[in-house]
Structure 1
Amino acid sequence: MIASLGSGGAERVMLSLCTAWAARGDTVTLFTFDDGRQDFHAVPDGVTRVALDIAGVSSSPIGAIRANAARLRTLRRALRSVVLDVIVSFTDRTNVSTLLAARGLGVPVVISERIDPRRHDIGTAWSALRRLTYRGATALVVQTERVRSWAETHVSASRVHVIGNPLREVAAPPVTAGNRAATIAAVGRLVPQKGFDNLLRAFALVHRSHPAWRLVISGEGPLRASLEAQVRELGLDAVVSLPGRTSAVDEVLAGSAVFVLSSRYEGFPNVLLEAMACGCACVATDCDSGPSDLLEHDDVGLLVPVDDAVALAGAMTRVLDDPALRSRLGDSARVSTQRFAPARMLQAWDNVFVASRRRAA
C-alpha cells in the first residue's frame, strides 16, 4: 500500500520489494491511492497493480471528513476483494488510512515510516490520528536505530523493527576516479528539506578557488524558481545547472567525482546509498537520521553539520584538492554498500512477516 508510484525513495523501495517478492513466487497486489496517470516508475512483472483513485484535497473540514470516510470505504472494499496473508503500508498518512480500513479483517498490518518522523510535520490532526491508529499495527518498520526510540512511543518495543533500504543494482558501468568529470552531483526534490539553498551558498565559496568544477542538481520541485534566482545572484550561471528530474540517475552519479547530500533531515537517503555504490566520494550533512548510518566519517565519506555552508564548503574543498582521498572514499563507499544487499534486506522483511503472523495468530 502506497500513495503513488512517483519518483520518491519510498516508491522505489516499495517497488524493489514487490519485484523480489513476485520473483520468488509470492502473489503481490500493489494498491496505490492515486489514479496511476502520473507514474514515474513502471509496475514490475508479476505484480498486480490496483489504482484506487482515492487521493485528493478537500476544500473544507466537513468536506475532508466526508471524503476521508468515502476513501476508507473504498479502501476497505479493495482489501476485502483479495486474499491477503499480510498488508504492508508505506508512509505516514497512508499508514493511518490503511490501519483504519483494515480494522477487523484479521490480517497482519505492517506499517513503515519512510522519513524521520521527528522532523517531518504531517499536521496536528494527522499526528493525532497516527498516535491513535499506530497502536493497532502488527509491526512498525523504521529505517534507522535513531528513529527506534520515537517508534517505541507509538507501539511496543517488540513490534519495532529497523530495516535499511535494499541497494538496487546500479545500471551504469563503473568509472575509475581518474576518469570522472570535474562535477559535483546532488539529486533530490527541490524542496526546503533537501537544503539545496545551503549547498549553493557552499559551492559559491568553493568556486572561488576551484573555478573549473561544476555543480549539477538533478530533481524537480516547488523551489526551482528561487534556486535559479539564487544561482544568478551568486554569479554561478556558468557552473551550476538544474536539469530537472531524470531517470538516468546512475549515469549522473557514475560520471561525477563527488556527490553531496545537503539535506536538513532524511529517513534513509537512497540516493546517498546509490552514490556510494557508484563509487562517488561522498559529502553529507549529519542529519538526525540517515547519513551517519551509511557513512563513517573520514573512512567512507565526510559528514558535516546541518545548514553550515562554511563547513560544507570546507569538506567539498578537501575532496576536490585531494584526488587520492576521492579515490579512497569512493572505493570504501562502494564496498560498504554490501551491508544493504537486497537478499539481506529481504530476509529482514521476511523475519518481520514471520513475527507478525505469529503475533496475529
Structure 2
Amino acid sequence: MHILFVLKDFKRDGGLEQVQQRLARQFLKDGQRVSYFVMNGDTADDEMATTFKGRGNGLVGLLKSIAMLRRLIRRERVTHLIAAKEQANLCTWFATWGRSCNVIYARHAALDCSEQNIGPVTLRLLYGLYLCGNGQVVTVSNGLRQALADRVPWGRQRIRYCPNAVVTEQLLSAAQTPLLSGLPAEFWLGVGRLIEPKGFHLLLDAYAVALGNAALPDLVIIGDGPQFVALTAQARRLGIEDRVHFTGFLSNPYPLIRHARLLILSSFHEGLPTVLIEALALGTPVLACDCETGPRELLDNGRLGQLVKVNDVPALAEGMLRSLAAAQGQVAPSPQVAADAVRQYTSQYAAQAYYQVWNHEKSADYPAGLGRGRCRKNDGAPRRSTD
C-alpha cells in the first residue's frame, strides 16, 4: 500500500497539517509506504516520508499540479490518496479520474467556515462532484458528517466519520518538558491561529469583562496569524495588556496546555477542535463556545467541559467566572473518564478508521475491527528525495 497525502500547502502551525502528519506516521508504523504531495511547493515537515512538490498556486498551478499528480500516481504506484482542503480535493479528483485508486476527500473545517470564501451552493456542488468519482468523503466529527450528508443526501452512504489522529506518545512526552520562562505561575490559555473565526477578539473582550468582576489568572495566547497586531492593540485598548501574554507560534505548546488552569476555545466555527482533545488528554479543564460542530460532541454535551453560547461576550465572560468555582463542577474530568473520552483520537484508532473506509466496511459503529490488520503491507521503505 502506498498512501499519498495531497495538501494545498504545509503550514508549520496548521492544525490540519499536524493531524495529517500524525496519521501518516501511524501508517508508516503499520508498514505502509507514505508520501506527501504539496501543491504550492512547500516541503512537509516530516523526515520519515517523501515530499513531492506541486507546481504552485492559482489556476495555472492547479492545472500543472493535476498533470504532475497524475504522472506521479502512475510512476510511484500510489494506491491510496487522502486529500484535504478544496484545492487539493479538486486536484486529486481530476488526477485520479479513470484510475482505480482508493481516494478519500477529507473535510476538516465547518461547512460555514467563512475564511474559505466558498458559498453553500458551491460547496454542495463540489462534494457532489467528489462523490461522482471513485472516492469517499471523510469528516472529522459526527456532527460535520451529518451536516454534509444533509446537503448531499444522495451520497450519504459514502460520507464517513473518521476521528483525527491527535493523542500520541510523542504528545504526552512533549508535555512533560519545562515551561517557557517569563510566564505567570497560574494562567488561562487560548491556542490557535490568530484569524477571525477563532474568536480571539471575543476572548479578550470577555476576559476584560470578567476581570472587572473577579481576580483572574493571567491569560496566555499561543499562536500566530494575520490578526496579531489587531489583537495586541485590542489588549492595550482594553487596559489588559499587562495581563495578556502573546507567545507567538510554539512548536511545542503541550507543557502550557498541561499546566494551564483552564483552556478556553472561543471559535465561531470548528470542524473538530484538536486543542480540546489535547487538553482532555493532558488533564486540563476546558471552556468552549458551543459552535455548530465539534465542541459539544467532544465534550459529551458538557459532561467533560463547560459549553457557552457562541459569539457572545457576556456568556463567555460568565463562563470564565463559573470556571473559578470548582464546587460547581468546573474541574477536569477524572483521568479514567478523560482517557476513555480521547481513546478514539489516538493515532492507532484513527488509522484503523481510515483502513475501514478503504475496505468499504458497512458497519457505522467505530472502531469495529480495531487491530485486525486487513490492509496489505507495502514492499518498500519511504524515500526522502523531494522532486
In the alignment, the residues of structure 1 paired with residue 271 and residue 349 of structure 2 have an alpha-carbon distance, to the nearest angstrom, of 19
Equivalent in the alignment of 2:359: 354
Equivalent in the alignment of 2:139: 142
Using the TM superposition, give the Cα deviation of residue 340 of structure 1 relative to its aligned residue in structure 2, in angstroms.
2.2
Using the TM superposition, give the Cα deviation of residue 276 of structure 1 relative to its aligned residue in structure 2, in angstroms.
1.4
Q: What amino acid is the match of 1:136?
A: G
Q: TM-score, normalised by structure 1?
A: 0.86
Map 1:223-234 to 2 at 5 A.
223-234=227-238
In the alignment, the residues of structure 2 paired with residue 335 and residue 323 of structure 1 have an alpha-carbon distance, to the nearest angstrom, of 24
Equivalent in the alignment of 1:61: none
Where structure 1 has 5 or more consecutive residues not aligned to the other structure, the ranges are 58-63, 357-361
Equivalent in the alignment of 1:338: 343
Closer, same or farther in 2 for the Cα pair 1:256/1:23, shift >3 Å?
same
Deviates further, 83-92 or 66-75: 66-75
| Matched residue SS, 1:148 | helix
Query: Would you say 1:24 and 2:21 are equivalent positions?
Result: no
Q: Deviations over 1:290-345 (max 9, x none)?
A: 00111034421000111111111111111123378454447454552223233222
Return the match for 1:309 from 310, 313, 317.
313
Equivalent in the alignment of 1:15: 21
Contact kept? 1:280, 1:333, Cα under 8 Å: no
Equivalent in the alignment of 1:3: 8
Query: Would you say 1:293 and 2:297 are equivalent positions?
Result: yes
Return the match for 1:123 from 94, 101, 118.
118
User: How many correspondences in the alignment?
Assistant: 340
Return the match for 1:76 from 70, 89, 100.
70
Where structure 2 has 5 or more consecutive residues not aligned to the other structure, the ranges are 1-5, 179-183, 362-387
In the alignment, the residues of structure 2 paired with residue 314 and residue 329 of structure 1 have an alpha-carbon distance, to the nearest angstrom, of 21
Q: What amino acid is the match of 1:142?
A: T
| Matched residue SS, 1:115 | coil
Q: What amino acid is the match of 1:346?
A: A
Closer, same or farther in 2 for the Cα pair 1:160/1:282, shift >3 Å?
same
Equivalent in the alignment of 1:259: 263
Closer, same or farther in 2 for the Cα pair 1:70/1:148, shift >3 Å?
same
Closer, same or farther in 2 for the Cα pair 1:22/1:69, shift >3 Å?
same
Q: What amino acid is the match of 1:86?
A: H
In the alignment, the residues of structure 1 paired with residue 177 and residue 284 of structure 2 have an alpha-carbon distance, to the nearest angstrom, of 10
Using the TM superposition, give the Cα deviation of residue 181 of structure 1 relative to its aligned residue in structure 2, in angstroms.
4.0
Q: What amino acid is the match of 2:133?
A: G
Map 1:96-135 to 2 at 5 A.
96-120=90-114, 121-123=116-118, 127=123, 128-135=125-132
In the alignment, the residues of structure 1 paired with residue 36 and residue 177 of structure 2 have an alpha-carbon distance, to the nearest angstrom, of 33
Using the TM superposition, give the Cα deviation of residue 137 of structure 1 relative to its aligned residue in structure 2, in angstroms.
4.4
| Matched residue SS, 1:237 | coil
Map 1:213-292 to 2 at 5 A.
213-292=217-296
Percentage of pairs with the same residue? 26
Contact kept? 1:93, 1:126, Cα under 8 Å: no
Equivalent in the alignment of 2:176: 173
Deviates further, 159-168 or 264-273: 159-168
Q: What amino acid is the match of 1:3?
A: K
Bigger relative contact order, structure 1 or 2 (CA pairs below 8 A, ≥6 apart): 2
Closer, same or farther in 2 for the Cα pair 1:86/1:73, shift >3 Å?
same
In the alignment, the residues of structure 2 paired with residue 229 and residue 131 of structure 1 have an alpha-carbon distance, to the nearest angstrom, of 43
Contact kept? 2:308, 2:316, Cα under 8 Å: yes
Deviates further, 126-135 or 208-217: 126-135
| Matched residue SS, 1:355 | coil
Q: Deviations over 1:135-158 (max 9, x none)?
A: 224211011222223433446222
Using the TM superposition, give the Cα deviation of residue 69 of structure 1 relative to its aligned residue in structure 2, in angstroms.
2.4
In the alignment, the residues of structure 1 paired with residue 79 and residue 69 of structure 2 have an alpha-carbon distance, to the nearest angstrom, of 17
Closer, same or farther in 2 for the Cα pair 1:50/1:68, shift >3 Å?
closer
Moved over 6 A (4+): none
Return the match for 2:205 from 185, 201, 205.
201
